[in-house]
Structure 1
Amino acid sequence: MKISTRLWAVPLLALALGCAKTDSLAPQGTLAPVAAGAQNASNAGFPEGFESGTKTAYTAGSVTLGSGSWTLDEALLGNTTADPKTGSQSARVRNAGRLTMNFNVTGGASTVTIGHAKYGTDASSTWELWKSTDNGSTYAKVGSTITSSSTTLQTASFTVNQSGAVRFQIRKTDGTTNRVNFDNVDIQTYGTTPPPTGTGKKFLIDGAHGELAGNADWVLDVDSGIPVRYPTPGASGITATTAETYWTGAISAWGVALVKLGHSVEQLPSGTFTYGTTAAQDLQNYDVLIINEPNVRFTTAEKTALLQFVQNGGGLFMISDHDISDRNNDGWDSPDIWNDLMSGNPFGITVNLDNIVENSTNELVSSTNQILNGPQGAVSQLSFHNGATATLSPTANAAVKGLIWRNSAGQGNSLAMCASSTYGAGRIVFIGDSSPADDGTGSPGNTVYDGWNENVSHARLHLNASLWLAKVTN
């Protein structure tokens, strides 16, 4: 369990949540602040997060939401602690209730994603997605029946591939009094789902564990404040000259660069990590998982899934922040969360509870290391603007290797700023600060800093490491 004596700093930290690196503006003054760009959209008004509007009774009635008018039958907008939700409220449905759009989206629908979870201590519920192409006169079922059995939002994905005007209806099908919640309904315009990438690798970027907490923005793209599975506009529109502002997120430059290299990227917008299940975003469906400064502790089941993913050949990119960087005030910051995952030290890496500001050129001298001298170019430095170092243990894992250390450190097991390791058939890369991946563009209202372009080494390091994790390089 996390040591409670460190919680004294939480109220002080809350005062500092004003920049993407919320902890110390002074050291970050070396980076020029960049105003956040305009947000992208799926179909206009989506994703629907049920944040606007009020409906407190189950009686059928219409309510105006951010996307338009919906009829909620045997449904209301719930905002209690028992309502699983992103933000302040979500739609709660009972009996044979329905959520029905009273309007069409005009851009068609390639994919629909819906966050869902059971309410409180209720038993599981089943539900379905239905579509109408004749203004709601008739409906046809889309995909399979879904069971909601978790109290944490999971994401169900439906392939629609419908052009022209279309509207949707969510139907609870079990007819019981068990309640189920829905949130983050997104309708991707027709043609925005990324096409098959042939030999390209699949990268999953986590957006479900507090990466947007406080003023953080460690995702590829947000639509109406929510990271959706497929960033919009679609990746198929990216060319060799596409700017990173194509997507709105503080690590969009990273994602756009991966697409330019022939790979595909997705985000996990909500829910939990699984491995070996039929879930649409089960980790077995991806080559590399990128988790940039998590602020929500992984569950026991998630920790098992993450270790299985790596052990069976997956690549895990672990990015931490400094000590006392709890952005959502839940008592857990990224160093604690990473160390909790690595209980028993399977990777040979322990994140130190420190806070450093330093530009280091103290790197491993190796012309063959594919992270420091990979296809994207040679790495010569790494700048931390409030980050944490790591202690390495070859005794725990003989494959662990330091790559960049503090300038004052020997190239040993202490004060590593970047390291790699292997575990089973998989690979791990650790960087102790989120600043180097920050590209200076994020959600409207956030002030972020361009660390990605602070020097040429930052992009090279992250991309070389990504390719090594995906086993594109040895």
Structure 2
Amino acid sequence: MFRSSYLVAKKLWKGALVVTLAASTLFTSSVWAEGPHDPAPFISAKGTPLGKKVLFDNTHGQTAGAADWVIDGGFSDFANAIAQAGYDVKELRKSTPIVYDDLKEYTVFVIGEANIPYKVSEQAAMIEFVKNGGSIFFIGDHYNADRNKNRWDASEVMNGYRRGAWADPAKGMSEEERNSEAMQGVASSDWLADNFGIRFRYNALGDINATNIVSPAQALGITEGVSSVAMHAGSTLAIVEPKKAKGIVYLPKTNAKWAHSVDKGVYKGGGVEEGPYVAIAKLGKGKAAFIGDSSPVEDATPKYLREENGQKKKTYDGFKEQDDAVLLINLINWLAKQENYENLQQVQGLKLDTATPLITTGPENEIPSQTIEPQKEPWAAPAAGYKWWDPSTFANGSYGK
């Protein structure tokens, strides 16, 4: 999620610009909600309403560090485009764990770079949601994009285990961190692969345009109108179970790694063997989609200040790049479409992928229980007084304070 001209500034160290959105006229309320107990932002469907609703998670560190992945902030272009396509859009905000009742009335649940691990009970609620016909869009990032310095990045959160900490999800944490409510009920598992047949890799690629696009006929129509998708420091995914998951966008052959990667960054020289940059999956009556970078989803209108220090954020117009917007709305439309098949093998004429070749030795070992922490975490010391698990320590102007 870094462009070549601002590699350092873009992800873990990006600054901020607080902007009053011109698009705010689309919202039902002009009052900006600032914490989990305030009314959540909502965008009504435009044009011809489809009677379907999309929910964006804002309960797991989506505004930590430089991130501002909310529908009235750094994800507003995406959210407004979803509304223009006929969907109601709302933010999920609460201070208690996600339960099935939070999700059941929605068609699609969007998770933008979660930085606080999901509890086992929350994972179960999401699986129940999908098996009953809901869909989830997982938006990841490169390895070590740990925005709140809690040692967990989005890829680890979504996979269900922390690299090098399989035996102890709170490895390296203080007793206060370990005993915090945020870490209660968290357990290591290969959750994403076990349920969706796919796993975020812990690689860290650089500034690349993904032009290896699977044809619409072999991508369930999702790649119609898509010839290029931007990556600005991101990851790819590994297809673990081809009957469940399939890649639809791949990187070209490349050795371009993120400048701050803590291992070799590029695992297989790009291409198909690096794993898909964008993928889909089918589980029960529902679906899932995955992308290895938040850059294509974001826009340049962050709402909040940094929770750690109150500094401004700066985000970028990734949604307007390449064919990012086309792909993302195609994904939402596919996710929102109810289809009877329960795995990809049941789709007539669809060629299944082969499993992505994994690294099973050395520092990049991808066997979940054998992964290694390449360097001491977190990547930098938190600011004095900042506690990622305690919103009372957050800076004024940040979400939750």
TM over 0.5: yes
Alignment of 1:21-60 (within 5 A): 21-22=11-12, 35-38=17-20, 47=33
Match of residue 302 from structure 1: 122
- Residue 290 of structure 1: SS of its match in structure 2? strand
- Residue 285 of structure 1: SS of its match in structure 2? coil
Q: Are residue 327 (structure 1) and residue 152 (structure 2) matched?
A: no
Q: Distance in 1 between matches of 2:115 and 2:122?
A: 14
Alignment of 1:236-247 (within 5 A): none
Match of residue 217 from structure 1: 68
Match of residue 254 from structure 1: 78
Q: Distance in 2 between matches of 1:449 and 1:369?
A: 28
**Of the candidates 38, 48, 51, which is equivalent to residue 185 of structure 1?**
38
- Residue 466 of structure 1: SS of its match in structure 2? helix
Q: Distance in 2 between matches of 1:400 and 1:187?
A: 33
Q: Using the aligned pairs only, state the percent identity.
A: 31
Q: Which has the higher strand share?
A: 1
- Residue 304 of structure 1: SS of its match in structure 2? helix
Match of residue 199 from structure 2: 350
Match of residue 178 from structure 2: none
- Residue 123 of structure 2: SS of its match in structure 1? helix
Q: Are residue 382 (structure 1) and residue 229 (structure 2) matched?
A: yes
Please state how far the C-alpha of 1:367 moved relative to its aligned partner: 3.6
Normalising to structure 1: TM-score of the pair? 0.53
- Residue 346 of structure 1: SS of its match in structure 2? helix
Please state how far the C-alpha of 1:259 moved relative to its aligned partner: 1.2
Q: Are residue 359 (structure 1) and residue 209 (structure 2) matched?
A: yes
Q: Deviations over 1:295-349 (max 9, x none)?
A: 0100111010011111111111001011011111112111110110752522111
Alignment of 1:38-117 (within 5 A): 38=20, 47=33, 115=36
- Residue 38 of structure 1: SS of its match in structure 2? coil
Q: Distance in 1 between matches of 2:230 and 2:40?
A: 39
Please state how far the C-alpha of 1:406 moved relative to its aligned partner: 2.0
Q: 8 Å contact 2:11–2:145 — kept in the other structure? A: no
Q: Distance in 2 between matches of 1:435 and 1:303?
A: 25
Please state how far the C-alpha of 1:255 moved relative to its aligned partner: 1.1
Match of residue 315 from structure 2: 448
Please state how far the C-alpha of 1:37 moved relative to its aligned partner: 2.0
Amino acid at match of 1:273: I
- Residue 63 of structure 2: SS of its match in structure 1? coil
219 and 465 in structure 1: CA distance in 2 versus 1, 3 angstrom threshold: same
Q: Are residue 433 (structure 1) and residue 293 (structure 2) matched?
A: yes
- Residue 77 of structure 2: SS of its match in structure 1? helix
Q: Distance in 2 between matches of 1:209 and 1:330?
A: 12
Q: Distance in 2 between matches of 1:202 and 1:187?
A: 14
Please state how far the C-alpha of 1:352 moved relative to its aligned partner: 0.7
Amino acid at match of 1:380: S
**Of the candidates 283, 287, 293, which is equivalent to residue 423 of structure 1?**
283
Match of residue 98 from structure 2: 273
Match of residue 250 from structure 2: 405
Please state how far the C-alpha of 1:368 moved relative to its aligned partner: 5.9
Please state how far the C-alpha of 1:198 moved relative to its aligned partner: 5.5
Q: 8 Å contact 1:251–1:439 — kept in the other structure? A: yes
206 and 453 in structure 1: CA distance in 2 versus 1, 3 angstrom threshold: same
Match of residue 290 from structure 1: 110
Q: Are residue 204 (structure 1) and residue 77 (structure 2) matched?
A: no
Q: Distance in 1 between matches of 2:318 and 2:202?
A: 22
36 and 17 in structure 1: CA distance in 2 versus 1, 3 angstrom threshold: farther
473 and 464 in structure 1: CA distance in 2 versus 1, 3 angstrom threshold: farther
Q: Distance in 2 between matches of 1:336 and 1:201?
A: 30
- Residue 327 of structure 2: SS of its match in structure 1? helix
Please state how far the C-alpha of 1:219 moved relative to its aligned partner: 0.9
Q: Deviations over 1:220-272 (max 9, x none)?
A: 11xxxxxxxxxxxxxxxxxxxxxxxxxxx111111111111211000012233
Max Rg structure? 1
459 and 473 in structure 1: CA distance in 2 versus 1, 3 angstrom threshold: farther
Q: 8 Å contact 1:36–1:442 — kept in the other structure? A: yes
Please state how far the C-alpha of 1:20 moved relative to its aligned partner: 5.1
42 and 428 in structure 1: CA distance in 2 versus 1, 3 angstrom threshold: closer
Match of residue 459 from structure 1: 325
Amino acid at match of 1:466: I
Unaligned runs of 5+ in 2: 1-5, 161-188, 254-268, 305-311, 341-401
Please state how far the C-alpha of 1:194 moved relative to its aligned partner: 4.2
Normalising to structure 2: TM-score of the pair? 0.62
Q: Deviations over 1:160-214 (max 9, x none)?
A: xxxxxxxxxxxxxxxxxxxxxxxx33499xxx88489853310001111101001
Please state how far the C-alpha of 1:442 moved relative to its aligned partner: 1.2
More displaced stretch, 311-320 vs 411-420: 411-420
Larger RCO (CA under 8 A, 6+ residues apart): 2
- Residue 213 of structure 1: SS of its match in structure 2? coil
Q: Distance in 1 between matches of 2:64 and 2:32?
A: 21
Q: Distance in 2 between matches of 1:187 and 1:270?
A: 9
- Residue 460 of structure 1: SS of its match in structure 2? helix
Q: 8 Å contact 1:43–1:187 — kept in the other structure? A: no
Q: 8 Å contact 1:370–1:464 — kept in the other structure? A: no
Unaligned runs of 5+ in 1: 1-15, 26-32, 50-85, 87-114, 116-183, 222-248
212 and 202 in structure 1: CA distance in 2 versus 1, 3 angstrom threshold: same
